[in-house]
A and B are shown apart, each in its own frame.
Chain A
Amino acid sequence: MKKVALAVTLFIGALLLYAAKDFSAWGDLQSPASASPVSKHFIADTGVDTEVPNMVTAVLADYRGFDTMFETVVIFIAGIAIIAILRCTGADADSLALERESDVATEPDLIVTNTVRLLIPVIQLFAFYVLAHGHVSPGGGFQGGVIMGASFILVALAWDLPKAMDRLSVDRAVMLAGVGILIYAGIGLFSMLLGGEFLDYAELYHVLPVSREMARYHAMLGVEIGVAFTVTTVMFAIYANLSTRGRLEGGL
């Protein structure tokens, strides 16, 4: 089996290398990707249409906001799928008592808990900063959401999982994930109610006292907040389920 796999892999490698000799040179300004009119339009007109300095955030949340909405839905579905796969009812809980190889029933360590107690507020503040400043510097909804979720996972690692679940239980996490998608789709529907198309943020200038471009700017922030809600809660829910085989007790 391994010999067949090796032969197939090498054959595919040879084909790919044969195709690679026709690529344009590294960093070529005339390559089809760099000279395409779509990219030029994005680079040239993002400032005029949306007044957002970070082009990647503008394209992600405004020009291609539909993709981002369904990506958020995919993350939500992954979280639910993991809960469904690892769920164990009371009946077969006894037969699942497979021993872990290394037992880690130790007390939370003094140095670790005190350091983490000082670090967690800073981490969460940084996550908010990344989320809010994503228009001007690298960052945005996903990055801020993942850092925030990682702060909850850090609580679970330094103490144990029940202490983290006091702050954010898995039921509430799933509900908040749904709220995140609701915010995103809600802003889109609200634009439709005001007379534009779905996710056409410029129509929000009817209700907010700003110009059309600044309406897109502020709606992007709202949309990124929705994404951050979903990503934070789903990351923590996935960790809680993976580290305890679905039973949500004990911890890593």
Chain B
Amino acid sequence: MSGLALFNVFILIFMVVAAVISLRVKDLLTASVVFGIYSFLMCLLWAEMGAVDVAFTEAAVGAGVSAVFLVATVFNVKRKSSD
């Protein structure tokens, strides 16, 4: 497998792991931050695929503003979830 394909495979596996972690932790603040990690890995994958505008937008919107909105909401409701 070429280097680029290997990079793809690693990033995809990390993304699946980040998605599962974000949904399994009981602390909602951790879930929001790991969701930011997931968004950032998605942005890397798109930049490697040649979709630079989409990667730029996802970096600004997903890993930036979206994670901040989630943290602001978690701050105003309960921080601990039952599942």
So, do A and B actually touch in the complex, CB under 8 Å? yes
Instruction: List residues of chain A with CB under 8 Å of any chain B CB.
Output: 54, 56-57, 100-102, 130, 138-140, 142-143, 146-147, 149-150, 153, 235, 238-239, 242-245, 252
Known: A54-B53, A139-B53, A150-B60. 10 other contacts (CB 8 A): A102-B75, A143-B57, A147-B60, A153-B68, A238-B69, A239-B72, A242-B72, A242-B73, A245-B76, A252-B75
Instruction: List residues of chain B with CB under 8 Å of any chain A CB.
Output: 52-53, 55-57, 60-61, 64-65, 68-69, 71-73, 75-76, 78-79
Closest approach, in angstroms, between the C-beta of B24 and any C-beta of chain A? 13
Complex Cα distance, B64 from A184, in Å, reads 26
**A238 proximity list for chain B (CB < 8 A):** 69
**B69 proximity list for chain A (CB < 8 A):** 238-239, 242
The answer to whether A243 touches B53, judged by C-beta atoms less than 8 angstroms apart, is: no
The answer to whether A143 touches B56, judged by C-beta atoms less than 8 angstroms apart, is: yes
Complex Cα distance, B76 from A102, in Å, reads 9
Closest approach, in angstroms, between the C-beta of B50 and any C-beta of chain A? 10
Complex Cα distance, B78 from A243, in Å, reads 14
**B71 proximity list for chain A (CB < 8 A):** 252
**A244 proximity list for chain B (CB < 8 A):** 76
Complex Cα distance, B60 from A140, in Å, reads 12
The answer to whether B60 touches A252, judged by C-beta atoms less than 8 angstroms apart, is: no
Closest approach, in angstroms, between the C-beta of A122 and any C-beta of chain B? 16
The answer to whether B52 touches A138, judged by C-beta atoms less than 8 angstroms apart, is: yes
Complex Cα distance, B55 from A168, in Å, reads 29
The answer to whether A239 touches B76, judged by C-beta atoms less than 8 angstroms apart, is: no
Complex Cα distance, B39 from A179, in Å, reads 31
> Please, could you name 8 A-B residue pairs with CB atoms under 8 Å apart, sorted by A?
A54-B53, A100-B76, A139-B53, A142-B61, A146-B65, A150-B64, A153-B65, A243-B75
The answer to whether B53 touches A138, judged by C-beta atoms less than 8 angstroms apart, is: yes
**A139 proximity list for chain B (CB < 8 A):** 53, 56
Closest approach, in angstroms, between the C-beta of B83 and any C-beta of chain A? 9
Q: Decide: A243 near B76, CB < 8 A? Known: A142-B57, A149-B65.
A: yes
Nearest 6 Cβ contacts at the A-B interface: A243-B72, A138-B52, A146-B60, A56-B53, A242-B72, A138-B53
